[in-house]
Amino acid sequence: MKKESFSQLMLRARGEGAGSLFAAGLALLVSSILMILFLSLMMRTDLINEQLIKARIIAANSPAVLLFEDRDAGREMLSSFAMSQPIEDASLFFSNGKLLVQYSGEDSPAFDVLPEAWRQSHYKFGMRQLIVVQSVSVDGKDIGYVVLRFGLGHFYQRLLGYVSMILIVALAAFLIMKFSLSRMEKMVNKAESNLEYLAHTDPITQLPNRHAFNKKLAESLELASQCRGEVGLVLLDLDNFKVVNDTMGHQCGDELLRMFAQRLLETTRSADTVCRIGGDEFVVIVSRIGRTSVDVLGISKRILTVMAEPFKIGVHEFFLTASVGSSLYPWDAGDSETLIRKADAAMYSAKLKGKNTFETFMPEMDQIAQRRLALENSLRRALERNELVLHYQPQIDLRSRKVVGAEALMRWNHPEYGLVSPAEFIPVAEETGLIVALGKWALQAACQQAAAWNEAGFTSMRIAVNLSARQMRDPDLMQYIENIIRLTGLPPAQLELEITEGIMMENVHSNIKLLHGLQKEGICLAIDDFGTGYSSMAYLKRFPIDQLKIDRSFVQDIHAGSDAIIGAILAMAHSLGISVVAEGVETEDQLHFLESMACDSVQGFYFSRPLPSDQFLAYCQEMAAESSRQLAS
Ligand SMILES: [Mg+2]
């Protein structure tokens, strides 16, 4: 069945409303007419019966008058009836039709001689008068007739009174109905305009929504194609906005979106259209007609500049950044769909470049976006096809120089693209939600591997597995970790879960609860990328943490001022009884510095890159042999 649009529906409802009013009016009219007809018939019958009775009464009193031809008695009798009733005239006739006596009102009498035809009939109801004839009998023989004539003025007057009343009632009913219908129509109109507003407006920022954006873009392109104009599309995606919602609540997030929308409106010209097309996605349509060209780069730059100012909500200050991508009609695309896709590709490229930056569309971005789409599609089947593998990066204890643990890192062996970097596919997995399935698989595979190493003689090797934000929010997380441990038989103390500082701070209270649960199971917990987020020291004390992993950026900047930070992290961690792993150790210099600061263990290319499981085992054996050689010498 063909679907009706909202406006078509409203139009139909209105047509139906007018139709029903007409039908109701017609029904009222027909019923009023029927009622009037019925009433007039009733009144007519009543009047005839009433007058027939009178005529009968006169007839019953008339035999003597007729037999004795007593005109005086007859007149007296007739006038007494005529006085009390609206009789125009009353007459007594002999059986031969000759008049005996008559009482007459204003008009001339009905008959001077009673016509032959009238001697049988009982009454005649005309337009103006009712004539009633009643025979006077004695011993079954007609000796005369009583003829009464009534004017119908009074009858019509009464009828008119009733008719007027019926019509007034019908009219009142019609007016009430019309009034309620027009009230209903007003309410429908109001609801319609409300719905129209809601259908095209984002309720939080009051900006046009995606629906309105599509319409506006199509109009702008149409106009630009007619007037040889340009249309620039500037797409903005707020970076890490989810964190604000998760840590400060949705009310604060919404307020921030409103402030951001306001700032966007102030940055753009009134002729430009700013829309909110998704949770944290905004778009600006910039149209220019004639020879003026659209400076999408300038607009993107201006937007990022005004966004650099903090947003203040109460006592809090927030810094928002966005990844901005733009495309330009007619140069990048000739239709809205492609134009949006290209702005999206540019925005994605800005995100890949580390966010808080802008990009205009370049043809090669299309390939990147297409590759991303292809990755997204094939990632869904990667698990079934066994294309994912784990590589293990050794963690070396700095005192014993032994491999004490390994971080399991996912690798994707794509049938077409070869080895795909996790930096490329992990964000895709996170966006699509596939990360939960991938994370589960990695956890199981890593535990299985560690259990196998135990059997190979490398006992008490700790295996570190990264947990994503989505996994942390998964209510079944605890359950499936317990299942995996039970299935693989790995001692829980050998499993270490790495959670980044950012994820840990996303939902502090529920995370504390979850971490305590994991600790109770005997599982080790580590904060990953420590120093890049904004952990509060007070929280750090409350998290049941076994290990901190100093982010690689600090290790790499050892001689550029990070040494003091590393020293502070180590001192703090050790005072809380937490051991420290430094990530990304690549040089001897870095290693010596960390040793001198009493860092517990390190991980990085200086010792080894992440290795496939068999190579990792060989590496462990080599390191163990090396360490025993050193002990022997
Ligand atoms: Mg990690």
- The CA distance from 327 to 331, in Å, is 8
Q: Is the pLDDT of residue 245 over 80?
A: no
CA of 441 to the centre of ligand 1 (A): 16
What pLDDT is attached to residue 3?
47
CA of 407 to the centre of ligand 1 (A): 7
CA of 168 to the centre of ligand 1 (A): 87
CA of 538 to the centre of ligand 1 (A): 23
Q: Is the pLDDT of residue 2 over 50?
A: no
Determine the Cα angle at 165 with ends 159 and 166, to 5°: 90
3-state helix, strand, coil in the chain (%, to 5): 55, 20, 25
3-state secondary structure of 85: coil
Q: Is the pLDDT of residue 423 over 90?
A: no
What pLDDT is attached to residue 240?
77
CA of 422 to the centre of ligand 1 (A): 12
Strands 316-318 and 311-313: antiparallel
- The CA distance from 491 to 438, in Å, is 22
What pLDDT is attached to residue 507?
75
Mean pLDDT within 401-416: 91
CA of 354 to the centre of ligand 1 (A): 19
- The CA distance from 17 to 19, in Å, is 5
Q: What percent of the chain has pLDDT over 70?
A: 94
CA of 525 to the centre of ligand 1 (A): 12
CA of 540 to the centre of ligand 1 (A): 18
Which is more confident, 421 or 240? 421
CA of 507 to the centre of ligand 1 (A): 19
> What is the number of other CB atoms lying within 10 angstroms of the CB of residue 176?
10
* 135-171: burial string, b at 16+ Cβ within 10 Å, e else: bbeeeeeeebbbbbbbbbeebeeebeeebeebbeebe
CA of 366 to the centre of ligand 1 (A): 31
Mean pLDDT within 292-307: 86
CA of 475 to the centre of ligand 1 (A): 22
Q: Is the pLDDT of residue 161 over 90?
A: yes
Name the band, by pLDDT with cuts 50, 70 and 90, for residue 90.
confident
Mean pLDDT within 550-579: 87
What pLDDT is attached to residue 260?
92
CA of 541 to the centre of ligand 1 (A): 21
CA of 342 to the centre of ligand 1 (A): 33
CA of 469 to the centre of ligand 1 (A): 13
Lowest mean pLDDT: which of 215-229, 274-288, 369-383?
369-383
Mean pLDDT within 8-33: 80
Mean pLDDT within 89-105: 85
Q: Is the pLDDT of residue 429 over 60?
A: yes
CA of 511 to the centre of ligand 1 (A): 18
Question: What digits encode the pLDDT tens for the residues 316-343?
Answer: 888 888 999 999 998 888 899 999 999 9
CA of 394 to the centre of ligand 1 (A): 12
Query: In one letter, which amino acid is 375?
Result: L
Question: What digits encode the pLDDT tens for the residues 103-150?
Answer: 876 656 667 788 887 777 688 888 888 888 999 988 888 899 998 888
What pLDDT is attached to residue 530?
85
CA of 272 to the centre of ligand 1 (A): 44
Mean pLDDT within 226-241: 89
Determine the Cα angle at 48 with ends 47 and 53, to 5°: 100
CA of 466 to the centre of ligand 1 (A): 5
CA of 497 to the centre of ligand 1 (A): 9
Decide if 524 contacts 493 (C-beta within 8 A): yes
Mean pLDDT within 586-608: 93
- The CA distance from 248 to 444, in Å, is 34
Find the helix packing angle between 363-382 and 422-432, rounded to 10°.
70
- The CA distance from 104 to 88, in Å, is 6
CA of 264 to the centre of ligand 1 (A): 37
Under 8 Å CB-to-CB from 158, ≥6 apart: which residues?
43
CA of 401 to the centre of ligand 1 (A): 21
What pLDDT is attached to residue 388?
93
Q: Is the pLDDT of residue 84 over 70?
A: no
CA of 499 to the centre of ligand 1 (A): 7
Mean pLDDT within 343-367: 86
pTM value is: 0.56
CA of 423 to the centre of ligand 1 (A): 12
Q: Is the pLDDT of residue 55 over 50?
A: yes
CA of 237 to the centre of ligand 1 (A): 26
CA of 515 to the centre of ligand 1 (A): 17
Q: Is the pLDDT of residue 395 over 90?
A: yes
Question: What digits encode the pLDDT tens for the residues 442-499?
Answer: 999 999 999 998 888 878 789 999 998 888 888 889 999 999 999 999 999 999 999 9
What pLDDT is attached to residue 241?
82
Kindly list the distances between the CA atom of residue 32 and the CA atoms of 41, 158, 230, in Å, as whole numbers in the listed order. 14, 16, 68
Q: Mean pLDDT across the chain, nearest whole number?
A: 87
Kindly list the distances between the CA atom of residue 590 and the CA atoms of 16, 415, 530, 554, 574, in Å, as whole numbers in the listed order. 82, 38, 17, 10, 20
Name the band, by pLDDT with cuts 50, 70 and 90, for residue 9.
low
What pLDDT is attached to residue 113?
83
Q: Is the pLDDT of residue 219 over 90?
A: yes
